[in-house]
Every structure is written in structure tokens, then in C-alpha cells.
Structure 1
């Protein structure tokens, strides 16, 4: 059985968000095929974990997906495809899936289930994903603090065009002025800009 963490957004308390993380996944091609076939049993947002920087990054897109679905402003077919779409900085739906969704070679993934129906419980999600995802379930943590642990920061920086954001500043001769800047500081600065980009796209 997969480990599931559930987050309830204050704006949408009736629609909890169930999150699972997996590493060493060996059947990403099968999972992707179920999405392409629009199999309702696999109506999830399957995300490439390398492209998710932090919990706030993920939840910003999840909030917009829920909001746009509820107010009939969604650009895609389902709330889960809307989540993938909302992660991307532009309006190309296909590109959103290519960059943030899983590929046949994905080995670390984040699965998100928006509980739009009362019967979509954490237990149901845990059992279904535990049965069908061939990989090792990882605990996202009580507050999803481990979301982002497999992020490729370079890829995310390139995707959102964040050259220079969160990087140590250099002096005239190329010396690092802020040489002790931590990875956490870098991510926080990037996160702030990224969530702004996602919010502006949704406005």
C-alpha cells in the first residue's frame, strides 16, 4: 500500500488533495498509457518529481486546478490535467505534459489525486496506487516537506527562465559575494518567483 498524505486547502475544505511519492518506478510507460487512453481509474496528476521544487510549487498549481474547475474556467478536460497545465509557465497544454508529466522513462514520480468525490479517500488512493505503481513508496511527510527532494533545480530554473534567481551573487572579478548561501535559500527565492508566475497565469 502506498503512503498517502492529505492536504486540505482553506479555500476548498470539501476537496482534499491526496499526494503520494514513488522512487525506482519501473512501469511509468504503463501509467502513461492509461492517461493517454483516458482510463477513469487512472485519473491522477502523475508528475515527474524532477520538475517539482517544493510543496508550495505543487499546491499553488493544485489550488488553481481546483479553482478553475469549480468556476468553469478550466482549459483542460479534467481537474488533474488542469493541475499539470497550471504548472507550466505558458498556455501550451501538450508542452505542459511533456515537461511536467511522466514519460516512459520516469523513475521518480509524484501522484496527486484531487478528491472531487466523497468516496475518493486516502485509503482508496493508497490501495489503488500501491497495487498499480511498480516502485517504492516514499513518505511525503506530514506537511509534504519531502516534496521536492528529487527536484532537478537546474531543469526547473531553465523551465521558468530563472537565470540568476537564487544564485550566489558575484563581484566584478567573478568572486562569490554570497558564498554561504544555502540550497534552502536558493529554493525559497525560486519558489517565490515560480508561485508568482503560476498565479499570474491563472489570473
Structure 2
């Protein structure tokens, strides 16, 4: 059995989000082939963990980027406004700042060479439970399951900040002048990674509007 953490979105409490993290994955090519075959048993959002992270200093603070994409995918599916084939492919699509679905998969989706993997399953039917997802992933993902804490802090362990900055067309770390915070007029420099988080979420929100 894989370790699976289930999150509930306030707006859609009846549709839980089941998330699992794996490291040292050795059969990414097989998992990707199942997606390409549109095998319904493998209807997940399989993500390369190097592209999913929002963090503060050296720690992820929450799975905000991922849950925001899940919310958009759910919302658009339930309102019949999805642009991709399934809600899980919509989730992958919603992570990317542009409207090219193929590019979204190339940047965020699983590749044959992926070794750190995030699997997301949207609870769109009663039979999709934490236990059913854990059992299925445990049987089919060849890798070490990494338990997630209450806030999902572990999701950023393999994130590649340089890759994320390139995807979202952000300045390299330290590449610009420090910006001053406007809160309370304290003039303190904004944490570049906190600023990065805000920009990424803003881009995802604009695309999803």
C-alpha cells in the first residue's frame, strides 16, 4: 500500500483530492504508457515532482500550487468548461501558464526518465477512496512511497527552482533588485521565493478565469 494524503477543498468538500509522493521510481515509462493508452485504471494526474513546489526559504509551506490546479480542474469539470480530455489532464494543463496542452504535459507531466513522482487522484466517484488509491498505486508504482504530513510539506523535496523559474518566465534567483514590502510600510525586502509563489498563483488564476 502506498502512503496517500487526502485533502478536502472548502468549495468542493464532496470531491476529495488524493495525493501520493514517490521517490526512486523505476517504471515511469510504464506508467506513462498507460496514460498514453488512456487506460481508465490509470486515470491520474502523474506529475514530475521537480516542477511542483511552492516554498519559503528551504521548506515547502503548503501544496498551494497543486491544490489550486486541482480546484480549477474540478471547477471546470463540474461546470462543463474543461479544455482537455479528462479532469486529471485538465489539472496538468492548469499548472502551465500558457494554453498549449501538449506543452503542459511536457513541462509538468511524467516523463520516461522521471524518478520523483507525484500522483493525484480526484475523488469524482464514491468508490475512489484513500484506501483504493493507496492500494492501486502501491501495486503499480515501482518506487519508495514518501508519507505526506498534514500540510503536504514534503511535496517540494525534489522541486527544481531553476526549472520552475524558466517555465513561468521568472527572473533567476538574485537576478533582480530586492523589492521592498509594502505591508505596514516596513520597507523590508520581500522573500524572492514568496514573491515567486505569488506570481505563479497569479498566472494560474488568470489562465483559469
TM-score (norm: length of structure 1): 0.90
Cα distance in 1 for residues equivalent to 2:45 and 2:12: 18
Moved more, 51-60 or 24-33: 51-60
- Which residue does the alignment assign to 2:33? 33
- Which residue does the alignment assign to 1:116? 124
Moved more, 185-194 or 111-120: 185-194
Deviation at 1:186?
A: 3.3
More strand by share: 2
- Alignment check: 8 A CA contact 1:23 1:135 kept: yes
Deviation at 1:170?
A: 5.0
The answer as to 2:205 corresponding to 1:194 is no
Deviation at 1:169?
A: 5.4
SS in 2 for 1:15: strand
- Which residue does the alignment assign to 1:176? none
- Which residue does the alignment assign to 1:159? 167
The answer as to 2:158 corresponding to 1:139 is no
Cα distance in 1 for residues equivalent to 2:128 and 2:201: 27
- Over the residues paired in the alignment, what is the CA RMSD in angstroms? 1.6
- Which residue does the alignment assign to 1:51? 51
Unpaired runs of at least 5, structure 1: 172-180
Runs of 4+ more than 4 Å apart: 168-171
- Alignment check: 8 A CA contact 1:27 1:134 kept: yes
Cα distance in 2 for residues equivalent to 1:157 and 1:44: 25
Unpaired runs of at least 5, structure 2: 55-62, 179-188
- Alignment check: 8 A CA contact 1:53 1:187 kept: no
Deviation at 1:189?
A: 1.6
How far does the alpha carbon of each residue in 1:94-116 deviate from its partner, in whole angstroms, 9 at most, with x for none?
01001100100000010000000
TM-score (norm: length of structure 2): 0.88
